[in-house]
Amino acid sequence: MSTAVLSTRGLSKTYGSRPAVVDLDLDVHDGEVFGFLGPNGAGKTTTIRMLLGLVRPTAGSIELLGRDLGRHRAEVLPRVGALVETPALYPFLSGRHNLVAFAHLLGGVPASRLDEVLDLVGLAGRARDRVATYSLGMRQRLGVAIALLHDPDLLLLDEPANGLDPAGIVEVRDLLRGLAESGRTVFVSSHVLAEVQHTCDRVAIVDRGRLVRLAPVAELLSDDGEFTIRLDGADAALAMVRREPWGATARLDDGALVSASPTGHGRDLLRFLADAGIWADTIDRRQRSLEEVFLGLTHGAEAGR
């Protein structure tokens, strides 16, 4: 079992009579990319602010890197890097000089560390260019570089792919996976569900301040016993399948028949159709998307803060 780098127990925050986070229990393991998902108003940003010591919990506890945050704040937080939405950068300074400015706020870091983090986030070749010339994806990567300046063990990233185009999203995905492979632990909040599906090892889904599911991504997406069949006469096939007890949830999706099987095996679904004179062109076991899982577990139509 991996070591828990971040743990919360009964973590709660109430604003007046409105609960924002309710009895949240999390364990984030060493070296993983952990996704934190929820619809708008689910309490994600409030949780991240509590993890960074910016908001005081109403109840519960937080452990970072094995130490209680409430009692060891000054010792623990320097080992945590954070990026909360779009970083505040100096556009008319170069990328490297931005790092110099932020390093000064940290009490200074060796020049070699500046070059190291620029290389780590893939900006070494653009280090002397003004940030005003950077794409949004490059700015996000520079923000992560700032969070890495003091060589933290844990990164807390709130919407690092916010506002990025597809190329920028892929840049951030590759960066996060690379950081985990280098031994860091990454806790990331994101509304880009397709990227979370490709990037994260495990995810926690919260809704209305409460944890509704925490599981490995592969487990969440494991097949639900359905198959996608492409064939001529899909409407007639659908009507026939729906008359069977096992076919009650059958439906059409982009012109293909989506259905369970009489036995759970694709070959028996094909046999059932063939016995009725319906021949399939292709059949594939259907895998759910993270978006489907998310919408099934929450009251939101989209992921958000």
Mapping DSSP onto H, E and C, the string for the chain reads CCCEEEEEEEEEEEECCEEEEEEEEEEEECCCEEEEECECCCCHHHHHHHHCCCCCCCEEEEEECCEEHHHHHHHHHHHEEEEECCCCCCCCCEHHHHHHHHHHHCCCCCHHHHHHHHHHCCCHHHCCCEHHHCCHHHHHHHHHHHHHCCCCCEEEEECCCCCCCHHHHHHHHHHHHHHHHCCCEEEEECCCHHHHHHHCCEEEEEECCEEEEEEEHHHHCCCCCEEEEEECCHHHHHHHHHCCHHHCCCEEECCEEEEECCCCCHHHHHHHHHHCCCCEEEEEECCCCHHHHHHHHCCCCCECC
Angstrom distance (rounded) from CA 114 to CA 160: 21
- Domains, the chain: 4-220 (3.40.50.300), 226-287 (3.30.70)
pTM: 0.79
34-72 per-position pLDDT tens digit: 999 998 888 999 999 999 999 999 999 999 999 999 999
Digit-by-digit pLDDT tens for the chain (305 residues) are 457 899 999 999 999 999 999 999 999 999 999 999 998 888 999 999 999 999 999 999 999 999 999 999 999 998 999 987 667 899 999 999 999 999 888 778 888 899 999 988 889 999 999 999 998 888 888 998 999 998 899 999 988 877 777 887 888 888 889 888 888 899 999 888 888 888 999 999 999 999 999 999 988 887 677 899 999 999 999 999 999 999 998 999 889 999 999 998 899 999 999 999 999 999 998 877 888 888 888 865 443 34
Within 8 A by CB and 6+ apart from 78, the residues are: 150, 152
Contact at 8 Å (CB) between 158 and 55?
A: no
Angstrom distance (rounded) from CA 216 to CA 154: 19
For residue 266, give both structure tokens: 């694709």
